[in-house]
Homo-oligomer: A and B are copies of this chain.
Amino acid sequence: MRKIIECVPNFSEGKRKEVIDEIVNAVKETPGVRVLNISSDPSHNRSVLTMVGDDKGLKQAVLTLFEKAVSLIDLTKHKGEHPRMGAVDVVPFVPVKGVTMDDCIALSKEVGKEVGERFKIPVYLYEESATTAERKNLAKVRKGEFEGFFEKIKDPAWKPDFGPTEVHPTAGVVAIGAREFLIAFNVNLGTNDIEIANKIARAVRHISGGFRYVKALGMSLEDRGIVQVSMNLVNYKKTPIFRVVELIRAEARRYGVPVIGSEIVGLVPNDALLACADFYLQLEDFDPSQVIENRLEEEG
């Protein structure tokens, strides 16, 4: 089967179009890698690049990204609303097809080692690749941001996993790791009462007692006069979409409110949707190799 890994580096430039283009165009030339999306936010002054490929291709693409970003981005002059600690701020590797989480962890370490050595940038392994419990959480790693890291890095608890123990003067530090695919998923409710969306968000999200791999907020969609439970599903294998939807339906019923629709924002792995078909059709002994497209991949 063809191996597919997704890589979603965030880098600290969201305003200067010529800089963004130069970085993205260099990455695009990497054999075996496809850039699926580039999303730049001027107020965040940050860009998110979505690409897929195999391990070799992505390693090369990420090194190219660092080469360009280090030469074109100077964090001492960078301002933006989004917290950041590096010119390349964070590099997650995500298993999509034919690869395991362990493969992606190994890839993140290989890339991290090379980034540290070649570019003299301190590297923190995060999420599934983390070497301490604290480093699992990107927000904790990034706390203090670029400016604070000149002190933070002296703390033995924050000795980098790879690279020098001194912050790169213009490119800062970087978090590199492996994580599950993140699905941005919203459920729309037939009410304009934001409190109902907030209550349901609290019911489903991990932090307040809900599903382990769900982050959720209530949001108003003013133009439609409705509210929404806006979510990140950070591990759709362990907290699947259908289970989240069914819980929200049950909670919404309790307020006499219907679910009027849902939205997948951006990309979704095929198997996350096959799992929903499997659940709702009550399939017995469904085997993904019954899907023609999968059968062809297997034999290919």
Instruction: Report chain B residues within 8 Å CB of A97.
Output: 292-293
A7: Cβ under 8 A from any B Cβ = no
Most chain B CB neighbours (cut-off 10 Å) among A242, A261, A292? A292
The answer to whether B266 touches A282, judged by C-beta atoms less than 8 angstroms apart, is no
The answer to whether A285 touches B270, judged by C-beta atoms less than 8 angstroms apart, is no
- The listed residue (B34, B262, B268, B279) touching A284 by CB distance below 8 A is B262
Instruction: Report chain B residues within 8 Å CB of A157.
Output: none
If over half of A's interface residues share one DSSP class (helix, strand or loop), that class is named, otherwise mixed; here it is: mixed
The answer to whether B270 touches A283, judged by C-beta atoms less than 8 angstroms apart, is no
From 179 to 218 in chain A, residues with beta carbon under 8 angstroms from any chain B beta carbon are: 188
- The listed residue (B259, B269, B276, B290) touching A292 by CB distance below 8 A is B269
What is the total number of copies of this protein in its complex? 2
Cα separation A292 to B292 with both chains bound (whole Å): 17
- The listed residue (B36, B245, B293) touching A270 by CB distance below 8 A is B293
The answer to whether B52 touches A292, judged by C-beta atoms less than 8 angstroms apart, is yes
Question: Chain B nearest CB: distance from A122 CB in Å?
Answer: 32
Instruction: Report chain B residues within 8 Å CB of A277.
Output: 241, 273-274, 276-277, 280
The answer to whether A281 touches B276, judged by C-beta atoms less than 8 angstroms apart, is yes
Cα separation A268 to B264 with both chains bound (whole Å): 24
Instruction: Report chain B residues within 8 Å CB of A36.
Output: 292, 295, 299
Question: Chain B nearest CB: distance from A13 CB in Å?
Answer: 25
A296: Cβ under 8 A from any B Cβ = yes
Instruction: Report chain B residues within 8 Å CB of A280.
Output: 242, 245, 276-277, 279-280
Contact (A260, B241) CB under 8 Å given A270-B291, A276-B276, A292-B52: no
Question: Chain B nearest CB: distance from A112 CB in Å?
Answer: 24
Q: List 5 A-B contacts (CB under 8 A).
A: A36-B295, A52-B296, A260-B282, A273-B273, A277-B280
